[in-house]
Every structure is written in C-alpha cells, then in structure tokens.
Chains A and B, each alone.
Chain A
Amino acid sequence: MNRKRWVLLLLGIAALLILTGCGSGAPDVDWELSITGDVSQPLTYSFTDLAVMEQVDLSGIMMEKSTGEDEVTSWSGVPLEMLLSEAGAGDFATLTALAADGYAIEIPAGETSDAIIALKDNGEWIADVTPDKGPIRLVTPATPANRWVFQVIEIQVNK
C-alpha cells in the first residue's frame, strides 16, 4: 500500500471515530436534548451529537450555592447559543429548561449569556463522575447554581 493510501485510510478511520463519538472519548450515554418552542426548526440532539460538536470552556466560574460554600469550578460543553441558532431561534424573552425528573425553570434571556450545555465538570465527563447530575447540565454563569438544571432534556424558547 503506498503512502497516499495509508494516509487516506488513517483519515477515514479518524473520521469514523469522530462520527461515532469515540474520537471525543465520550462515554456511551443514551440521552437526548430537544430545542423546541418558538423556533423555526425544532431539533433533537443525542449525547453523541453534543459530544462531537464544538466545545467551549467556562473556566474558573463561581458556582453560587444555596447551601454550603460557593465554589470555583470549570465546565465544558456546547454553547447554548449555537444550538438555539441551529434551531432558528431569534430574539426571545425567556427559555424554559425541563429536566428528566420533571424539574423545570424559566430563565430570562438576559441571564442566558455564556450559557452552555455542559458535558464535563472540571475536565471529567459528568456522566462518569456524577451520573445523578448528568449526563448533561445547563450551566448559566449569570445565575446561582440552583438554576443550573441537571438531567436537562428540553429547552423551550419563549418569545
């Protein structure tokens, strides 16, 4: 096999790994997040979809807790703005985040800046280290941590 073929083969394998989520080292998790409400195209992302998307880091942000000491933490995940944009959300008044266990919260647009759908907590997959608080969590740095909805399954956009 000549060098060109080897390169193509390796690239193919790499692409396959990335497409299956293996390239990200993501755990195998059965989870979906839907973007619904006032959007032009409601979308649903699997955990793997999210794991292979562009990730951003929120480093050294204050986790303001309702009990106990506040904590400086770092989270990584997909920018919420990107998901909203893909679903065709324009300006909105609030977002409603729904969790798998029935928990729900409505957040004003002004408090969603820099928000991410976090997959990692301090560099570790949430699904691995705190599965009861995951596998994904809405992290909104502008609000206290009790508004960071874990086990989030749906984000509704409200005009």
Chain B
Amino acid sequence: MTKVEMKSKAVLILFLIGLLAASAGCRPNWSFTLEGLNDGKRAVNFTTWHANDMFAEEGALPLEQILYGEGARVLDSLTVRDEDGNVIEYDWAEAANFLQLGKNGLLLGGDHQIRPDSILVVRSEWESLVEGHIYDIAATAAGALGIPEPSLSTGEDLGAEPAEAVLLLFLDGFGYFRYQEALDEGLIPVLEKLDRPLLGITTYPPVTAVSTASLLTGTEPPRHGVETRGIRTTDSETLFDVAREAGLQVVAVEGDALAFNLRGADLILSGDRDGNGGTDDNVLANTLSVLAKGMPDLLFVHFHGIDDQGHEVGPGAASEEDKIREVDAAVGQILEALPARSLVVIFADHGMHQVNEEGRRGNHGHLIPRDMLIPIWVFRK
C-alpha cells in the first residue's frame, strides 16, 4: 500500500469513527428501571420515549402516557430513586397532574427535576376489582344483536343474552366514584333500584373522544388510533358500521354537538332549543320521540349535562347534583318507555376530579381512579 493510499484509508476510518460518534451522540443515552407493573422490572429509555413522542410538548411528555403504555391502569403512588440514591415518594393523585418525562430522561416535577434510576409504581387496589372495560361494550351489544364484533375488538361479552334491541345509555362524566357518592347522597333513586353496576374502567386518556372510540371499536387507543383529544373520527370499523352492514337500524340521539363522529347511525342532535342552558331535556325529548315511533335495533343516547356541570362547578356542587338528579329521572323515563326484551347498557366514559383553575372546577384526563373508573350496568328489560 502506498503512502497516499494509507493516508486515504486513515482519513476514511477517521471519518467513519466520527460519523459513528456523531450518530451515537444524537440519540440520548439514558435509562431507568420501572418496577411494580405486570412484567416485573422494565427498562425505560429513549426508545420508549421516542415511541410516544407524538404526545410530547416542548420536549417532555406526561409520565402517565409512558406508564399506560407499560400496562399501568390506576395507580396510588410512585417511589422515585435517583442516581445518587435519593428517594422521593409521590401521591399519584397529585403527581399525575405534573410529572413529565423529558427527552433527556429527566423526570420533571414542575419545581424540581430528577435523574431517575428507578421508579416503583404502586398500583391501586381498585385495579384488581375491575369487572369490565369500556371496550367490552361493543362485544356485549354485538353478542346480544347476533352480529359480528367490530374487526379490531378485543373486548369480552359482559354477559348479554340475545335481545331484540340494544340501548346504549351514555352518562358523560359520571364516573364510578361519583356514582357511589350520588348513591350515598340519595341523588339517584332510579339507578339505585337497578342491580349494582360492574366496576368498569375506561381507556387512557379518559376523555370523551378517546373513550367513545374505544366504546365503538371495542379496543384500546393504540389500536383504534384515537389517542388524544381533538380527533373526532376513526377509520377503524365500529359497532355502528357492523350493525348497519347487517341491515340493522341504528339511531344516535346526541346533545348539541358530537364529541365523536357516529358514522353509521341516523343522527339526531338535541340543541338547546328552549334556551334553558342545557341539552339533557332535549336529549330526553328526542329519545322519547324515537321510542314512541318504535325502538330501533340499536339506540345510542348521550347525556352531556353531568360532565358539563362537573367541569363548570365541580363534582359535589349544588347545580351538578341537580343535574345528576335530572339525568337519573331521564333514565327512568327512558327505561319505562323501552320495549321489553331489550338489552340495556348504561355507562360513563370517564369520571371527574376537582380542580381549582380559572373558569373550571372539575376536570378529567389522568390515570387516576377518579377519572378512569366507571360504572357499567348491563341488564335486560
């Protein structure tokens, strides 16, 4: 080899080494151990972060997004150990609001940041008591109607027998905790007379568009693709698509606006035509009108008022309690007008927790029991 050739080869090798070093430097090299979830210890690193980067803002994403992807459902607390052995314990009900994971692997806690070496997740005891999922409802309704489940469905039939028709009664924002409180306070005489609901769980993030997509497709957000607020449609097959394909009549009575597109249903919107500031009375009137003409094969009815009041005045405020009473009474009128041999599924899409924000006293959207747990009633009339 000549001197010139050797020099060229050396330059080439140095260039390749430089390229390798540069590319390694582009990929943040951090990792911590996640403990306490299904599969024992798991390594979380930049690859995990990168797989969720569509949820990131300004280089950080909610820690709960990572935790949900790793199998967490409802949590109690987190214990974080940093690289120097320091330990910080977080009450998850508080920490879910602010803990973020930076692209650089730092755990950002608002006024502090930590380089985690390990995070121990303590799951809520509620998790072991869960009896059903929001994505089981598609399989349940399909089973009762004798039609196939939506193609992506991973849900299980919650025990429905064949029925002549199915009513899906959607109580927006009426989470399991609020149901229990309302029961204790005597706000829901109609629902109280029913058998105890299943302790159900919705999908993350617990917001209406995502939950409705899970409800109708029968699966979880990573599969149906509606993973954040602001997405109002899915290309995945829904319960309504399947029912319509089978020649069934599908009617959806909604409030004044769709939270999620209801392709395949004959849509009846219920604007505030009487100007009383709410739409639940209009939803009730439209539903009773539908039933008076004859129960369709699949009827979907969505009450928004509990959620609206929960956001505005917070769970437990007087006008929110009034709304719960109103919706409970509306459920009673609908059940009375419903023909026999119908399957009834009453459910919420998410819960609500108190906040103290400008213009808002209640919110939802976190991986906490109060937001994630929902009641699901399944019974035959």
Contacts and interface: CB of A to CB of B under 8 A. Distances in A.
Kindly state the interface size class of chain B when it binds its partner.
10 to 19
A19 B65 CA distance: 52
Interface in A115-141: none
Contacts of A34: none
Contact of B229 (A67, A94, A104): A67
Contact of A66 (B229, B267, B270, B273): B229
A102 B256 contact: no
Nearest to A66: B229
Contacts of A103: 232-233, 258, 261
Contact of B272 (A101, A108, A146, A147): A108
Contact of A94 (B230, B263, B267, B271): B271
Interface string A48-73: 00000000000000000011000000
A104 B233 contact: no
B256 A107 contact: yes
A13 B254 CA distance: 51
B255 to A, nearest CB: 8
Given A93-B273, A96-B269, A106 B256 contact: yes
B233 A102 contact: yes
A97 to B, nearest CB: 9
A104 B232 contact: no
Contacts of A101: 232-233, 261
Given A101-B261, A102-B262, A108 B232 contact: no
Given A101-B233, A103-B258, 7 more contacts: A102-B258, A103-B232, A103-B261, A105-B257, A105-B258, A108-B256, A147-B257
26 contacts: A66-B229, A67-B230, A94-B271, A94-B272, A94-B273, A96-B271, A101-B232, A101-B261, A102-B261, A102-B263, A103-B232, A103-B233, A103-B258, A103-B261, A104-B254, A104-B269, A105-B269, A106-B256, A106-B270, A107-B271, A108-B256, A108-B271, A108-B275, A146-B257, A158-B271, A158-B273
Interface of A: 66-67, 93-94, 96, 101-108, 110, 146-147, 158
